[in-house]
Chain A
């Protein structure tokens, strides 16, 4: 089976003389939860946008399940952007209908079940919800698809610790064993235990790609502590 994600010689510049990504090579296997970690400006979001066909590589390329980013790959990639794109006047219910119309693999019952557990009413208008609650709604939509690759850009940034636990729990109990989750975050210690692997990005390049327990065994420290050391300001 092909790796779910492959980046080869992937480079991106925004034309300002700086390379956001430079010759990045990366291959992700199926059935893993992978943390994409790096300081601000290290290229995390650029990489994520390239995978989702929102940017075009300057050099090199990306393949998802053997295909270039496009219509086919969007069917199997479920993407949570770092910013919300929801229409404020919509009700939660409208969003469910929208996702159901848009994606064949959207599971309406799963979405409704999670929203109920989070105490979010289907009749609430998105504009009346707090920022954290809107984030939860958006994550529920993304995790309710039977995707092969989930890409979550800062999924737990704006929510309180209790909701964070629920969200991690949601991720753990809802993802399919053959699916891969790539998630970027700064809250490393909160998610470290649910990760298989971590990828450290620095200046647009991969500087570490290892399993969490490899890091702990070899470095005798957590990924969070290693991160603080590697990226000390």
Chain B
């Protein structure tokens, strides 16, 4: 399945985010081997050089590491993975709060709506 990419952002950044997402969500676990550049490029339907760039950037962040002959692996640094999850959650929260403010809601209104939604979710 082709990855959904949007128009305005550099493609390699979107690929980085998508792979980070796959790591956070557990599709790739710590120490797992990543598919090859070519395989990932075909899966995402993007240029292999662009995929290469995204992976090199992830390597610079320490999220993946490469072993000369055997390929690329996900970091086993659990702290780093936790950190990444927190960062992503913070991004979603920021976006959520901004959207709520755009609806003209006050902070305490947001809080109570949020509480209700979480409760409703549990009851289902």
Contacts and interface: CB of A to CB of B under 8 A. Distances in A.
A1 interface: no
B47 A33 contact: yes
A194 B38 contact: no
A194 B7 contact: no
B8 A221 contact: yes
A224 B6 CA distance: 12
Given A213-B10, A220-B8, A32 B49 contact: yes
B7 A222 contact: yes
A187 B66 CA distance: 36
A193 B44 CA distance: 9
A165 interface: yes
Q: How large is the interface on A (under 10, 10 to 19, 20 to 34, 35 or more residues)?
A: 20 to 34
B93 interface: no
B7 A221 contact: yes
Interface stretch (A7-15, A91-99, A142-150, A167-175): A167-175
A216 B2 contact: no
Q: How large is the interface on B (under 10, 10 to 19, 20 to 34, 35 or more residues)?
A: 10 to 19
Interface in A158-185: 165, 168-169, 172-173, 177
Nearest to A221: B8
A interface, over-half SS: helix
Nearest to A193: B46
B48 A172 contact: yes
A212 interface: yes
Contact of A173 (B2, B38, B50, B53): B38
A15 to B, nearest CB: 40
B8 A172 contact: no
Contact of A172 (B5, B12, B42, B53): B42
Interface of A: 31-33, 165, 168-169, 172-173, 177, 189, 193-196, 212-213, 216-217, 220-222, 224-225
